[in-house]
Amino acid sequence: MIDDTTFTLMELSQKGYFCSQILLILALRNQGKENPDLVRALYGISKGTAGQLGTCGTLTGAACLLSLYAGKGSDDEQESELLPGMLEELWEWFEHTYTPLYGGITCAAILADGTQPRERCGAIVANVYNKCLEILVANGFDPSEGPTV
């Protein structure tokens, strides 16, 4: 049985969005918002940036998702003191979870066996999204609300 998040993820993928974009679309929808400019900008870190050469876009997109809630966004805001630890937790979890499976955390490593992104990455995006929600809640952030900085 497919849960709502997985169904939405598949739907967004079929519409042509990529990992980092999907993560932020899900977060924005949780807040009852849309931000096409942000979603468009996140294309730049999708697919490991520059054609799978860099860090998995799901990981970098997840860092952006956490920063959406806890980062500085205007002159009168301050970054949450919790953000560096949240980002470290995310990175360590991702590395610990996916390096043993794929030999690294770049898109090239994750897809080195020739598996197509749409076949492998959906499960990774869903797992990472759920991990982000877990990190947010554990640090006192409500995923259905906007930034609290």
Per residue in 60-110, pLDDT (tens digit) is 999 999 999 999 999 999 999 999 999 999 999 999 999 999 999 998 899
pLDDT higher than threshold 70 for residue 148: no
> Is 147 inside a domain boundary?
no
pLDDT higher than threshold 90 for residue 116: no
pTM reported for the whole predicted model:
0.92
What are the b/e assignments for 70-90, b being 16+ CB within 10 Å? bbeeeeeeeebebbeebbebb
> Is 84 inside a domain boundary?
yes
% of the chain residues with pLDDT over 90: 72
DSSP letters along the chain, please? Answer: ---HHHHHHHHHHHTT--HHHHHHHHHHHHTT---HHHHHHHGGGGGGTTTTTSB-HHHHHHHHHHHHHHS--STT----TTHHHHHHHHHHHHHHHHHHHHSSSBHHHHTTT---HHHHHHHHHHHHHHHHHHHHHHTT--TTS----
> Is 146 inside a domain boundary?
no
**Total structural domains in the chain?**
1
Q: Using an 8 Å Cβ cutoff, are 143 and 30 in contact?
A: yes
Q: Measuring CA to CA, which residue among 54, 86, 42 is closest to residue 67?
A: 86
Predicted pLDDT at 9: 86
Mean pLDDT within 17-44: 94
Which amino acid would we find at residue 126?
A
> Is 10 inside a domain boundary?
yes
Q: Using an 8 Å Cβ cutoff, are 112 and 102 in contact?
A: yes
**Is residue 47 very low, low, confident or very high in pLDDT (cuts 50, 70, 90)?**
confident
Q: What is the pLDDT of residues 48-58, one digit of tens each?
A: 776 667 899 99
> Is 143 inside a domain boundary?
no
**Is residue 4 very low, low, confident or very high in pLDDT (cuts 50, 70, 90)?**
confident
134 is in which domain, residue-wise? Answer: 4-69+79-138
> Is 144 inside a domain boundary?
no
> Is 21 inside a domain boundary?
yes
> Is 148 inside a domain boundary?
no
